Structures are given as C-alpha cells and as structure tokens.
C-alpha cells in the first residue's frame, strides 16, 4: 500500500511539473511581440516523442495524433530537434535552426516512418480572416498518393506527402467558406478515405486539418483555434501598408516571402489579403507555390515602401503562360465618399467601362500594358477615382457604353463614406472575374 501511495505521489509531482512547464511556456497573456510554436506528432509508427529547444526537452510524451497548444516564445533564432530518446543528439529529426519573427505562428510536424522521420515546418497565417470566412491549413502525412481535402465549404486539391515530388512540402492553406464536414479524398479515385461529417467549420476560426496514419488505416486530426482567443497583433510600427492580391487564374495558391521568410501562405486565386503595416524601407519580396523560395515564380526583387503609402502587390498572368506582378499605389485620399482603385488585369481583354449604379467611374480602361483609347498613351491598367456613399451595383461594360444595362460583370456594393475599395477585373477573356475588396480604415488598419 505504501509503495502504491508513493507511486501516486510521484505521478502527481510529475504531472504538476509538466503543467508548470506548460504554464511557463504558454502564458495567459503573452508578450506583445511573442512568437508562437506548436508541435504535432503525425508519424503513425513512431513512439511518443520529445521536442527539444536549444538542447532542452521542452515537450515530452507527445503521442501519435497529438498536437500541443500554442507555446509563446520570445522572437529570435532557436535550435529545435524532435526525437524519441532523452538525448537530443540522438533525435530522429536532428537539430535545425528556426527564426521566429514577432507575431509568427509556426507548426513543427513530425511526419514519416520511424526510420525516415522528417520535421516539416509549417508557417501558419493568423492574420485577420476575411469577414464571414474561416482559414484552414491542411497536411498530408500519409505516405502514398496525393489527396484532396474538403473543409467546410472549401477544398484543397492535390496535396502530396512531403518530399514525394521535388516541390511538395506536404501542406496547403487558405480561406474557406464555413460549413459542415471535413474529408480526405483520393486524388485519382475520388473515394472518401476518411471524414468527420459532423465537424462544423465556423467563421473566424483557424483550422489545422491533418490526414495521418497509413493508406490502409487513415485517420483525421482537426485542431480548431478561435481567432478571438489567438489573433495576431500587427507588430510592425511603420506607416507603409502592403497587401497581396492573387489575380493569376491558372496559378496555384501562393506563399509570400519577405526577406526570405514566408509571411503569408495559401493565398488563392481571387483573394486579397488585408493591409499589413511595414516599417518604411526596402524589402526583398518573392511569391511562389510552396514554402521553398528556390521555387519562387516571381522574385526575389527589392521593393521600397514609403511612409504613408498604400500598396497592392497584384500577382497576374503575363500573357505568355507565366506569372508576373504589378505594384498598385492605392487610392486612399478623397474629400468625400469612398476612395476607389480600379484595376484591369485581363491580358488580351477588351477595353472596358466601370460603373457605380448609373454613374460611370472609369471610361475606356484598357488592360495593363496596352494603349488606352481614345486619347492613346501607355496604360498601366489602373484608375483612381471616388464614388458616392451608398448601395449600388458595380458593373463592367464594353468601352464607351451608354448605360450599364448590358453588363459583362456585376457586383453589389455598399460604398461607405471614407472607405477604401479595390475593384479588380481579372481572369481571362473567356472567364473574367470581378473582385471587390473593402477596407474600413477605422477597423481594418488597426495595428
């Protein structure tokens, strides 16, 4: 009996020590410039794991299929290792350095078999989610064929196991519409491999969705984080504001690099990020299909952002089956009504008029890089105008139309006094698309 009681006391002490360790790592109120990290054990045949930070075991006993809470850490460079033994030098995922920026969220996932374990670094996007949307990061940790993910009202196609092909990093991310159900679907067969039909995907939540296990015995891990509990403050103190728009119809979701570090991930065609504050200066910017900057589609190039400037980096088709980008200086200064930036990005598209109700905002706007009619002259596809406050239908018609009746595209918009709007005509001549983005400076530009 005494041995049993002694064992209970030891277990209680060990449990208390583990809780205390977590409490020290994940404070109720993290520092304003904290970085956040969590560890995911996604290897089906690997025993419980330890996570080492700078040679010290920070997490231990992490079971297959488990994901830790977000742990806050001071920004800086750390050495991480993941293994099953107490000696960090014997870790199956050897020590590697990772730079943690202020406000960053990073998932470190152990993926693969016990004899071929790999650590996958997944930069997560915890910036403000578009109104009424959710955001998901999906991970394929099943060594085999690529899979598709269905998450609420959205989907992610052809997600490969990490390293299955040269460009595969094993994950994808982006905003999705809320809805019911999460499923992993065979890419070629279309068969549902595993699902949680009752899982509700809620607006303003971030989700980590991982397909784990084996092809014969797949499992699903879903981790839900409410942005009301964990949202990223904006830590930059500069006065330049930068956002990224994905307007290239044939291009996969994009990762955005700033000075070699992924700052946004999973940006899908037709999406526009919120404005991010940058300290004024010159930065090396690149965009690519995955987290490897060597695979960048555009860049790295140096871009300079000035005090008080508002910039949109629009990733567009270059008209030659490639990708390019344009830098738009957004209109944010009007005496009354709404400030509107209109962009025509359809390569080979017609010259257009853009209307707000019965009022013509822009006449004769040609695609970027073409000649604008009727006056002639080189055109960058951009026009900055103002619009009266109120609910209207924004319409796109052929150039010099007498009315908006025969609209090619339309979108209902309520222009707010003092609001900033981007109206973008994108896509292809055969499949044009109208994107309207509203920024409320009193809400969306908070640091």
Indicate the DSSP class of residue 289: S
Query: Which pLDDT score, from 0 to 100, does residue 333 have?
Result: 64
- C-alpha closest to that of 121 among 171, 174, 161, 87: 171
Query: Which pLDDT score, from 0 to 100, does residue 443 have?
Result: 59
Query: Which pLDDT score, from 0 to 100, does residue 67 have?
Result: 93
Q: Which residues contact 156 (CB under 8 A, 6 or more apart)?
A: 136, 138, 148, 149, 172, 174, 253
Query: Which pLDDT score, from 0 to 100, does residue 366 have?
Result: 84
Task: Specify whether the backbone of 366 is left (phi greater than 0), alpha (psi in -120 to 50) or beta.
Answer: beta
Query: Which pLDDT score, from 0 to 100, does residue 257 have?
Result: 87
Indicate the DSSP class of residue 67: B
Domains identified in the chain and CATH numbers: 1-124 (2.60.40), 126-233 (2.60.40), 236-329 (2.60.40), 335-447 (2.60.40)
278, 315 in Cβ contact below 8 A? no
Q: What is the mean pLDDT of each run of 10 residues along the chain (447 residues)?
A: 33 33 42 86 94 92 91 92 94 93 91 93 85 89 93 91 82 90 91 94 93 94 84 51 87 86 82 83 88 85 85 80 76 76 87 94 81 48 88 94 92 90 90 88 59
H or E element, residue 136: strand 134-140
CA pair distance 149, 174, nearest whole angstrom: 12
Q: Is the dihedral of CA 404, 408, 411, 416 positive or negative?
A: negative
258, 276 in Cβ contact below 8 A? no
Query: Which pLDDT score, from 0 to 100, does residue 319 have?
Result: 66
Query: Which pLDDT score, from 0 to 100, does residue 29 have?
Result: 60
CA pair distance 173, 161, nearest whole angstrom: 15
Indicate the DSSP class of residue 103: T
Query: Which pLDDT score, from 0 to 100, does residue 1 have?
Result: 38
Query: Which pLDDT score, from 0 to 100, does residue 336 have?
Result: 80
- C-alpha closest to that of 421 among 354, 364, 338: 338
Helix/strand/coil for 231? coil
Query: Which pLDDT score, from 0 to 100, does residue 241 have?
Result: 85
CA pair distance 257, 287, nearest whole angstrom: 6
Token couple for 52:
């080492």
CA pair distance 148, 243, nearest whole angstrom: 28
3-state percent breakdown (helix, strand, coil) of the chain, nearest 5: 5, 50, 45
CA pair distance 303, 315, nearest whole angstrom: 14
CA pair distance 96, 78, nearest whole angstrom: 8
CA distances from 41 to 7, 162, 256 (A): 28, 15, 27
Query: Which pLDDT score, from 0 to 100, does residue 14 have?
Result: 33
Indicate the DSSP class of residue 275: P
95, 78 in Cβ contact below 8 A? no
Query: Which pLDDT score, from 0 to 100, does residue 163 have?
Result: 86
Place of tokens 């050897």: 94
Peptide bond into 300 cis (omega under 30): yes
378, 397 in Cβ contact below 8 A? no
- C-alpha closest to that of 42 among 255, 266, 208: 208
Query: Which pLDDT score, from 0 to 100, does residue 6 have?
Result: 33
Token couple for 398:
């052929």
Question: Which residues does residue 107 pair with via DSSP β-bridges, in sequence order?
Answer: 38, 122
CA pair distance 416, 337, nearest whole angstrom: 7
């Amino acid at each position: 009996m005494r041995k049993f009681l002694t064992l209970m006391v030891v277990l209680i002490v060990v449990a208390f020590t583990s809780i205390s360790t977590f409490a020290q790592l994940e404070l109720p109120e993290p520092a304003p410039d904290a970085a956040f990290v969590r560890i995911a054990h996604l290897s089906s045949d690997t025993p419980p794991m330890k996570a080492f930070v700078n040679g010290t075991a920070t997490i231990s006993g992490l079971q297959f299929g488990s994901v830790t809470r977000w742990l806050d850490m001071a920004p800086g460079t750390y050495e991480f290792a993941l293994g099953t033994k107490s000696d960090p030098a014997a870790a199956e995922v050897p020590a590697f350095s990772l730079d943690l920026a202020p406000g960053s969220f990073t998932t470190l996932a152990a993926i693969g078999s016990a004899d071929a374990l790999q650590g996958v670094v997944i930069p997560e996007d915890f910036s403000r989610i578009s109104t009424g949307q959710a955001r998901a990061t999906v991970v394929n940790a099943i060594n085999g064929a690529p899979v598709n993910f269905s998450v609420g009202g959205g989907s992610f196609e052809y997600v490969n196991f990490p390293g299955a092909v040269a460009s595969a990093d094993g994950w994808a991310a982006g905003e999705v519409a809320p809805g019911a159900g999460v499923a992993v679907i065979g890419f070629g067969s279309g068969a549902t491999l595993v699902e949680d039909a009752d899982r509700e995907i809620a607006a303003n939540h971030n989700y980590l969705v991982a397909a784990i296990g084996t092809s014969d015995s797949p499992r699903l891990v879903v981790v839900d984080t409410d942005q009301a509990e964990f949202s990223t403050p904006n830590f930059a103190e500069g006065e330049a504001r930068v956002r990224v728009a994905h307007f290239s119809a044939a291009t996969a979701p994009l990762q955005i690099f700033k000075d070699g570090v992924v700052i946004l991930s999973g940006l899908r065609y037709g999406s526009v990020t919120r404005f991010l504050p940058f300290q004024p200066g010159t930065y090396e910017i690149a965009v690519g299909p995955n987290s490897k900057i060597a695979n960048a589609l555009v860049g790295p190039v140096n871009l300079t952002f000035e005090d008080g400037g508002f910039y949109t980096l629009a990733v567009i088709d270059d008209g030659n089956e490639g990708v390019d980008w344009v830098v738009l200086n957004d209109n944010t200064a009007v005496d009354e009504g709404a400030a509107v930036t209109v962009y025509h990005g359809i390569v080979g598209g017609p010259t257009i008029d853009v209307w707000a109700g019965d009022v013509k905002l822009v006449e004769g706007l040609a695609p970027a890089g073409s000649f604008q009619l009727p006056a002639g002259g080189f055109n960058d596809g951009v026009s900055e105008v103002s619009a009266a406050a109120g609910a209207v239908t924004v319409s796109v018609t052929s150039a010099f139309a007498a009315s908006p009746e025969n609209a090619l595209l339309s979108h209902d918009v309520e222009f707010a006094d003092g609001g900033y709007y981007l109206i973008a005509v994108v896509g292809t001549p055969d499949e044009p698309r109208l994107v309207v983005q509203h920024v409320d400076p009193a809400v969306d530009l908070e640091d």
